Amino acid sequence: MIVAVTMNPSVDISYPLNRFKFDDVNRVESVSKTAGGKGLNVARVIAQMKEDVICTGVVGGTIGDYIVQQLDGRHIRNDFLRIESESRNCIAILHEGMQTEILESGPTLSEQEGIAFLEKFEGLITSASLVTISGSLPKGLPTHYYCKMIEISHKKGKRVIVDSSGESLKQVLMHEKKPFAIKPNTAEFSQLMGFEVEAEIIDLKRTLSHKIFEGIEWIVVSMGSKGAFVKHGTDYYQVTIPEIDVVNPVGSGDATVAGFSVALNRNQNVATVLKTAMTTGMLNTMEAGTGYINKNKFKQYFDFVKVEKI
Ligand code: ADP
């Protein structure tokens, strides 16, 4: 079983408008509301790949109830810690070919809630084979909170894949206990290094040989339509993908983490792990919904992915 963690889930509301009128009333006909958050996307794709998954994290209030109902409705197992404050709404207004977003920062957790979640997490991962941690931390938790989750996972002998950015990712890399894998995209990777990382193989190789990555088994730098550049142990791989018709690329990194986790969980070889990760990423970009793939297209696209040891 894979445990997919989302510490700051949301209800994602989309308001399509022909024209967005400022300082006026905007009426919306077709509202769509979905349970959002990177780890929830990961879990949805894992479930579509027919692998056993459970979602966890923290939820609160009626928005939290909605998140749970949505997952239950899709038969995705979940076990969240209930918190005092309300989970957040994230609103996207789609107008005139643009997307204006209004993102609530979400609840602030108390210290006790932070401790309570770690206890829940420790219990949940006992029967897990793999853990994924995705997205940002809610307010109230220290930036090294993911390090504590990694420590617990080490104690229990579980592999952890971390897909976060900014300060929480930095803390994870600086910590003594390392995650099993990380999956930054190019922007997150550049932000982490503090300089614009070039897409040239020689530069990528040099950057990934930096000592902050020591002890991490897999570093998958996803590069959108360019595929990925990967360090596995002491080996480097360039992964290239075919040109495809993109419908909505949002969540493709999460779908990549999902495919990566599923293949690792099935003890697949390096090439299959990377090809699966790229394929689920691509399939997500080909659907309108975030965290959805058309599994019938899997084999066709999988065969087009090329993994080259550099
Ligand atoms: P993130 O969503 O985290 O920013 P990326 O944009 O790197 O991550 O996308 C993750 C993966 O999804 C890519 O490695 C690739 O497999 C697939 N993907 C994303 N964008 C495209 C695209 N425009 N064309 C083809 N595949 C894509």
What would the DSSP string read from start to end of 103-131?
A: E----B--HHHHHHHHHHHHHHGGG-SEE
Which conformational region is residue 166 in: left (phi greater than 0), alpha (psi within -120 to 50 degrees), or beta? left
- Per-residue 3-state assignment (H helix, E strand, C coil) for 187-216: HHHHHHHCCCCCCCHHHHHHHHCCHHHCCC
Assigned token pair, 190: 């550049």
Q: What's the rounded Cα separation, in Å, for the pair 153 and 159?
A: 7
Say yes or no: CB of residue 242 within 6 Å of ligand 1: no
For residue 269, the tally of other CB atoms under 10 A from its CB is: 10
| CA terminus-to-terminus distance, the chain | 33
> Ligand 1 center to residue 106 CA distance, Å?
27
User: Percent of the chain beyond pLDDT 70?
Assistant: 100
Q: How far apart, in Å, are the Cα atoms of 308 and each of 50, 201, 238?
A: 28, 12, 5
pLDDT, tens digit, for every residue of 46-100? 999 999 999 999 999 999 999 999 999 999 999 999 999 999 999 999 999 888 9
Q: What's the rounded Cα separation, in Å, for the pair 278 and 257?
A: 9
Nearest residue CA, atom 2 of ligand 1?
A: 253
Q: What's the rounded Cα separation, in Å, for the pair 169 and 295?
A: 31
Residue 102, class by beta-carbon neighbours within 10 Å (0-12 exposed, 13-18 middle, 19+ buried)? Answer: exposed
Return the pLDDT at 199.
Answer: 78
Say yes or no: CB of residue 222 within 6 Å of ligand 1: yes
Contact 180, 153 (CB under 8 A): no
Nearest residue CA, atom 20 of ligand 1?
A: 224
- State the helix-helix crossing angle for 270-285 and 38-48, rounded to 10 degrees: 110
Return the pLDDT at 111.
Answer: 97
Say yes or no: CB of residue 165 within 6 Å of ligand 1: no
Say yes or no: CB of residue 181 within 6 Å of ligand 1: no
Return the pLDDT at 13.
Answer: 93
> Ligand 1 center to residue 285 CA distance, Å?
7
Predicted ipTM of the assembly: 0.98
Say yes or no: CB of residue 228 within 6 Å of ligand 1: yes
Residue 193, class by beta-carbon neighbours within 10 Å (0-12 exposed, 13-18 middle, 19+ buried)? Answer: middle
3-class secondary-structure state, position 37:
coil
* 277 CA: nearest ligand 1 atom: 16
Return the pLDDT at 198.
Answer: 80
- Per-residue 3-state assignment (H helix, E strand, C coil) for 133-182: EECCCCECCCCCHHHHHHHHHHHCCCEEEEECCHHHHHHHHHCCCCCCEE
> Ligand 1 center to residue 115 CA distance, Å?
35
| Identity of residue 46 | I
Say yes or no: CB of residue 227 within 6 Å of ligand 1: yes
> Ligand 1 center to residue 211 CA distance, Å?
26
Q: What's the rounded Cα separation, in Å, for the pair 159 and 129?
A: 7
Nearest residue CA, atom 23 of ligand 1?
A: 225
* 228 CA: nearest ligand 1 atom: 14
Which conformational region is residue 277 in: left (phi greater than 0), alpha (psi within -120 to 50 degrees), or beta? alpha
pLDDT, tens digit, for every residue of 274-309? 999 999 999 999 998 889 999 999 999 999 999 999
* 222 CA: nearest ligand 1 atom: 7
pLDDT, tens digit, for every residue of 131-177? 999 999 999 999 999 999 999 999 999 999 999 999 999 999 999 99
Q: What's the rounded Cα separation, in Å, for the pair 40 and 76?
A: 9
